[in-house]
Structure 1
Amino acid sequence: MFEIAWFCPMTDLQTLVDGTIKVCVEEDGFRHCGFVSSHHLVDVKAEQLRHLIRGTASAALLGDVATT
């Protein structure tokens, strides 16, 4: 039997009326969103948001009050 030992973050996409795509990533209880102008940019933006979340989660764990 195969067991997954890592958590896959949730990514939500929403296309707005002007064609802009809202990308939201949720991981470790944190959620960050960003906007892109084309679907080919979604993966890059999602990775940027995951990186931001991991920095935020790390700072929260270490007690860094300067992180928002």
Structure 2
Amino acid sequence: MYFTDRGIEELVDRRGEEQVSVEWLGARLQQFVDTHPEFETAVDRLATWLARDDDADDVEG
């Protein structure tokens, strides 16, 4: 298990039953980067990866 998996597990444990919009997620990511600008690159990469996730299906199929 990676160290970061603990945060992911906590997220799932605490909020796993909730449904959120992509708009809400985007706003939360922006708030995080505003508070922690040193993580801007990582958040940008995650957001780009999530935005393009369905592209992987197009490449394979």
Task: Please tell me the TM-score bracket, short chain as reference.
Answer: 0.3 to 0.5
Return the structure number with greater strand share: 1
Return the structure number with greater helix share: 2
TM-score, normalised to structure 1, is: 0.33
TM-score, normalised to structure 2, is: 0.35
